[in-house]
Amino acid sequence: MAGTKSSGRPGGNPNIKKHGFKTDRKYPLTENMTIRFDRPTKDALKAGKLPNWREIAREAVEKALAEVEEEENLKSA
């Protein structure tokens, strides 16, 4: 019976760390935010026209933040 105390292997999986999620990122992706799109953009993304759009969005935000930080560093120097 799935999801009950009596289901699964007694004692759990001793090798759970071996099968867990791993990342090669500097920081793991643990936080969520919401982004709003217009209907045509959402439909295009749902249709798979840009399969890795989430990663592209993350990279664009990181790039914009880096530019802002660079401008701030130039102003304070």
pLDDT tens string 20-67: 777 788 888 889 999 999 999 999 999 999 999 999 999 999 999 999
pTM for this structure?
A: 0.66
Alpha helices in the chain (DSSP H): 16-19, 39-46, 53-76
Mean pLDDT in residue range 2-7: 60
Mean pLDDT in residue range 10-23: 76
Domain ranges of the chain: 52-77
Cα-atom radius of gyration of the chain, to the nearest Å?
A: 21
Q: What is the dihedral of CA 40, 43, 49, 52, to 10 degrees?
A: 110
- CB-CB neighbours of 45 under 10 Å: 15
Q: Are 44 and 50 in contact (CB under 8 A)?
A: yes
